[in-house]
A and B are shown apart, each in its own frame.
Chain A
Amino acid sequence: MNRFDYIRPGSVAEAVAAASEPGAAYLAGGTNLLDLMKIGVAAPDKVIDITRLPGLDRIDWLEDASVRIGAMVRNAELARNTAFSAAFPAISEALLSGASPQLRNAATVGGNLMQETRCAYFQDPLSRCNRRAPGSGCDALEGHNRSHAVLGWTPSCIATHPSDFCVPLAALGAIVEIEGPDGSREIDLAALHELPGSESAGGIALKHGEMITALRLPAEATSFAGHSRYLKLRERTSFAFALVSAAAMLSMEQGTITEARIALGAVAARPWHATDAETFLKGKKAEAEVFAEAAGIALKEASPSGDNAFKITLATRVLTRALTLAAKGTPDRVPALPASVFMSSEGATANA
């Protein structure tokens, strides 16, 4: 790890001023940044610790019934917040399916949005990677790429966004509040993670010195609470990143879908909001064939970026199952194994 200065500012304005200097980086929970510093992928000269900035650790319900989550709220705290979990059960399930309890106690809402891809070539400073070193090439294209993107990729970058939390957020139209050297602004979560282009590798759409201060969920996002699930297929049942995941949220009247919110995880460089599938489901009966067709629509643009054509079939099946589970209704409590495909009936054990 390189040497760096440690700075703990007292206000957002001080933080932005310090972080706007060249070579500075924000530090929140540290679960991603410190790891990247240890493996030589990140090497900031100045580390700006924003975890104690006043007012960023609150969950506020606003007058218009939307909710504002401060960027420094910890993942575990948000998942366990009773009012939040009741309104957004799929978000709680997604949070609890990510990382480990120790990491969830440290990791923050803002940091989760800012986390880097887990592509092995991004994480290896000796490999070519357009995202880490623009213009250097991409060793994933001819490398171990079975977990890489099947949507929205270009030969510039085939990495995926690893977050679970961001998947239901993208489906529900979350808004990101930002402070920076040029003042405040807000953007849709969908615009935060840029897809790769013909030349660019994509990445986080923040300017140097900008920081996320909060996340907002619109009031209408609470109308899916009765039929919300997050389902995550991974190569071990716990403490693993998704191979593919799906957030499925429905609003239903007498077996007919009135509105749907759908997103896929670990299939692209951003959480993949499947708007065509949502439109298709509106007004349809909640039944197996309809869900399979919707999942097919969500994946219709998909193509393998390497040794990963199987992910397209897996994602189709995981989304079909997530929609089926959502239609059955949100469980009273987040299952013992959150988001696990082994927990589709309550009381079943994965260890029998």
Chain B
Amino acid sequence: MTLSISLSVNGESLNVPLEDTRTTLLDLLREHIGLTGTKKGCDRGQCGACTVLLDGKRINACLTLAASVDGTDVTTIEGLAQGDTLHPVQAAFIEHDGFQCGYCTTGQIMSAVGLLSEGDAGADPERIREGMSGNICRCAAYPGITAAVLDAERRQSESEGTSV
């Protein structure tokens, strides 16, 4: 079965032919569109390395059929920075050493962006740890990751003129 899907990826409208309905959103991004920033870890929704935003919400791209994202708006790690200016979450991960090998990092950052837009965690480290529990870091850089997300949350709150 051959399908054709239209979607927006990082603000760019794309038409992609889909020869195999088994293609996941993760494989669509990496193999068809050439955006390899989204990583394949477990491929079963357990590690979070493939986290992207689908219509603004974080999901596991490995458990999403490409056919089902027809007409949606996808944001990947490649879509966060504005030119050479890093997204605040990206900058905070560098400042707080929120990684070691880096394989899970793009998923961690996309998940953190999703978490901050959900607005449930505030500046509570416990809620941030719980809210990031869908992203596994084999190097266990968790203290740096939590510090980075807390810092990004603080900057976001300040720039919005609110305190949580």
A: residues with CB less than 8 A from B are 1, 3-6, 8, 27, 30-31, 34-35, 38-39, 47, 49, 51, 76, 80, 99-103, 105-106, 238-239, 336-338, 349-351
Contacts and interface: CB of A to CB of B under 8 A. Distances in A.
A3 B67 CA distance: 13
B75 interface: no
B90 interface: no
A349 B126 contact: yes
Q: DSSP majority for the A interface? A: loop
B22 A3 contact: yes
Given A102-B45, A106-B59, A27 B1 contact: no
A336 B60 contact: no
A204 B51 CA distance: 31
B51 A49 contact: no
Interface string B121-140: 00011110111011100000
B24 to A, nearest CB: 8
Q: Which residue, of B1, B59, B130, B135, has the highest number of chain A Cβ atoms within 10 A?
A: B130
Contacts of A349: 126
Nearest to A350: B126
Which 7 pairs between the two chains have the least Cβ-Cβ distance?
A: A100-B134, A238-B133, A336-B126, A6-B21, A6-B67, A105-B57, A102-B134
A5 B22 CA distance: 9
A132 B92 CA distance: 47
Nearest to B126: A336
A204 to B, nearest CB: 21
A6 B68 CA distance: 9
A351 B126 contact: yes
21 contacts: A3-B22, A4-B22, A6-B67, A31-B60, A34-B63, A47-B21, A49-B65, A49-B68, A100-B133, A101-B58, A102-B51, A102-B60, A102-B114, A103-B45, A103-B134, A106-B59, A238-B133, A239-B133, A336-B126, A337-B126, A351-B126
Q: Which residue, of A5, A35, A336, has the highest number of chain B Cβ atoms within 10 A?
A: A336
B64 interface: yes
B45 A35 contact: yes
Contacts of B68: 6, 8, 27, 30, 49, 51
B63 A337 contact: no
Given A5-B1, A27-B68, A103 B130 contact: no
A336 B22 contact: no
Contacts of A1: 22
Given A3-B20, A51-B68, A103 B60 contact: yes
B98 interface: no
Contacts of A239: 133-134
A105 B131 CA distance: 12
Contacts of B64: 30, 34, 106
A100 B133 CA distance: 6
B114 A106 contact: no
Interface string B53-81: 01001111001110110100000000000
A100 to B, nearest CB: 3
A49 B67 contact: yes
B86 to A, nearest CB: 23
A30 B118 CA distance: 22
A4 B67 CA distance: 12
A58 B61 CA distance: 25
B48 A27 contact: no
Contacts of A238: 129-130, 133
A268 B111 CA distance: 34
A4 B21 contact: yes
B115 interface: yes
Given A31-B63, A49-B68, A100-B135, 19 more contacts: A3-B20, A4-B21, A5-B1, A8-B68, A30-B63, A31-B45, A31-B60, A35-B44, A49-B65, A101-B58, A101-B133, A102-B59, A103-B45, A103-B63, A105-B59, A105-B114, A238-B129, A238-B130, A336-B127
